[in-house]
Each structure stands twice: as structure tokens, then as C-alpha cells.
Amino acid sequence: MRVGVLTGGGDCPGLNAVIRAVVLKGIATHGWEIFGFRNGWRGPLTGEGSWLTRDDVEGILTRGGTILGSSRTNPYKEDGGVDAIKRVLAEKGIDALVAIGGEDTLGVAKRLTDDGVKVVGVPKTIDNDLGATDYTFGFDTAVHIATEAIDRLHTTAESHHRALVVEVMGRHAGWIALHSGMAGGASVVLVPERPFSVDQVIEWVERRFEREYAPIIVVAEGAVPEGGAEVLQAGEKDAFGHVRLGGVGTWLADEIATRTGKESRAVVLGHTQRGGTPTAYDRVLATRFGLHAVDAVAEGDAGVMVALRGTDIVRVKLAEATAELKTVPPERYAEAEAFFG
């Protein structure tokens, strides 16, 4: 049997652990040939990639990023894209695909399944916003990176008696902001799911200054003020219709400085949250996902995504996994809000 594997969308720590698990189990247990497609869905469109051996995946468990490369290519935006993928798979004799990605990559996987291509999905995103799974790999590492940054910023903020606004990733879901803000003891956490009152933020900041502590405000890139709109870094849309967000941290820092008269600075963590070696948790979760994806392929169970439920790895339909984003519920945000100010 021949199986293809690809990594699509934004990179994150743990991708190589999945690739390694698929290759090692596929070869050792089933005697399969594994083809690594390059650069997300662009690989199956063009045929770019190579056959992977055990030697190719030795030593990649601890590496961030992906040895296969990634892209935000959407084959359904390409003329004849689906036919091209079917032709490439037929030419290489590939029987099934393991697609590792987030909502966009797995959305394509679901549509391809409907069009007759056998695909098994693996949930990857630092935003932890995929439905049907408790956690996605990459999230734990991103939270650790953001929390460490917040810990470091506390000391410089206190030294200079200034407010620091830390902008983290999170377009539609504020899981990174919520977890890192709580873990880092932030004064305020702002998430996309709940428009924020600038007046309320100022009140929390001033309350913090009154106690002679420097405030740390953690804000997700997709957070919006009441009656306002997302802050765009660029208006152009990618192949999946997304614009580039960024800048709400700088905007909010300026508002705080103007209204309080206190020095305020913005720190944008950006792609540092995606880089570097994965945590032990993400390495184990990604490896387990890869092993169970191989099981699904071996059993002919296409059109599914492997998911974490409690401590168990289960399979769910791709349609369920991509039906809606998993966002921060009000009760979870309320837990953090009790510490604001």
C-alpha cells in the first residue's frame, strides 16, 4: 500500500512528530511506502515531494516546523485542482492521504473525501480552535512560549512602572490569550469572543497602578473593542478568505497611554509562538495522533479525523471536525475575569 502525507496551513511545533509516527509505523508495521508531499495541498496538485524512509525521519521528533514545508494553497481555488490531485495520486499509486492541518486544511480534506479521495485528518493548530477534539497539538507549546514571555515582561514592566500590552495569536478563538494570561498572572485578558470596553480596561489598569504594580494586558490579535472592528495588518485575503490581523496591541497601548498618562508599550509575539521545539506534551500527543491515523488508513476508515477525548484518541467524521470553530465559552472567560485589575 502507498500512503501520502502532507502538512498544510500555518506551521506549528509537533508536525514532524506526526510525520515521524506515520512513516515509522507505516513502514515497520504494514510495510507501506510513504510519500511526503511538499508544501501543503500544493504537493498533491503538482506531485512535488519524495518517498520517505526511516532515515528521513530520524532526529526530527524535537524539531519545530515541518520537514515537508507548508502553504495555504486551496485546490478548490485552482482550475481543475481536484482532477489534478486525483491524477497525481493515480500516477504515484497512492491509495490514501494523511492530511495534517487546521480548519482550512481539513476543510479541503473533507471536500476531497466527498469527491472520492481517501483522506484521514490529523488536527493541528496552535489556536486549539478545531471542534470535536479536546486539544490540538501545537497549542501547549504556543501557550508555554507566550507564558514565558509574559513572565519576563513582568520584571521589566515593574522596573519602569509602565503598562505592557502583549499581543498573541488568535484570530477567532482566544485560547492562547486565556491560558497564557491566566498562567502568567496578567492583569487583563482580551479575547475575540467578547468585545471589550476600553473604559473597563482603563479602570483595571488604573486599579493595578494604584496598588503600585505594573499592569500586563494580554490581547488576542482578533479581539475587538465594543462598537469597533478588527485591526488589520493587511487587507488582502489568502486562498481561504482570511485577512492578516495584527495591531490591536499597539492601538490599545496608545489608548492606555493617552487616557492614563502612564507609559505604555506593546509587545507582539507573532510567529515566535509557532517556532522552536515542541513541549513534551505536544510531542506525545502528535505522536499518538500519527499512530492512530495509520490505524485508520489500515482499516480503510477514510473521511475521519483522529481526535483527543479525555485521554483517549478517537475518530470523528471530518464533517463534524470542521463544522464549527471551538471558541472560548463565557464561563471559561469568567474564571479569568475574577483576577482582572
Residues acting as catalytic residues: 127
Q: How many CB atoms lie within 10 A of CB 183?
A: 15
Q: DSSP for 191-242? A: -TTS-B-HHHHHHHHHHHHHTT---EEEEETT--BTT--PPEEEEEE-TTSP
Nearest-5° Cα angle at 187, 182 to 188 = 80
Nearest Cα residue to 266 out of 132, 179, 157: 157
Beta bridge pairs of residue 304: 120, 317
Q: DSSP for 255-275? A: HHHHHH-S-EEEEE-GGGGT-
Residue 86: HSE in the Cβ half-sphere, 13 Å Cα cutoff: 11
34's grid cell: 510513504
Nearest-5° Cα angle at 339, 335 to 340 = 110
Contacts (Cβ under 8 Å, ≥6 apart) of 161: 209, 214, 262, 263
Is 91 buried (19+), middle (13-18) or exposed (0-12) by CB count in 10 A? exposed
